[in-house]
Amino acid sequence: MAKKNPVVSANGAPAINIGIGEKDRAAVAKGLSRLLADTYTLYLTTHNFHWNVTGPMFNSLHAMFMAQYTELWNAVDPIAERIRSLGHQAPGSYAQFTELASVPDAPTQPPAALEMVRILVKGHEAVARTARELFPAADKAGDEPTADLLTQRMTVHEQTAWMLRSLLEE
């Protein structure tokens, strides 16, 4: 006779048993929620700047910002789905993102082009720090998929910050 799984969720589905305890899954999901909020906030700022950039660098910045907001948009879903894989709800409202994000919202009045670049440098570095701060919790939990996701995100944000910063050098 087959044994029944003694641990089931309230809806009768088997409890999550991926080799990471609930406490560790909660800690990682909390950090990933911050990463999701930062990523979405930076996405929105970058898209705003794409729409509103002006000046002699318009063509190059308009195209660069489009590539950057597209990359950020494509990053949001894997982060949210990792949170769900850990058994937690992914935040998805502006109110939640505002509460969780370390990246400030876009200015209400679009700044000059090079100030946009400065703001985005700071934003990418902030997201890289958020990912880096979560790394010890993922490592402690033995959560290799999250560690891999964090490594990918840090690589993108650090490289993007470097490229943007290069535009500010004389």
The pTM (predicted TM-score) of the whole model is 0.92
Compute the distance between CA of residue 23 and CA of residue 29 in angstroms, rounded to an integer. 10
67 touches 47 (CB < 8 A) = no
pLDDT of 76-123, one tens digit each? 999 999 999 999 999 999 999 999 999 999 999 999 999 999 999 999
pLDDT (tens digit per residue) in 133-150: 999 999 999 999 999 999
Average pLDDT in the 56-68 region?
97
Q: What is the pLDDT, as a whole number, of residue 8?
A: 62
Q: Three-class SS string for 112-133?
A: CHHHHHHHHHHHHHHHHHHHHH
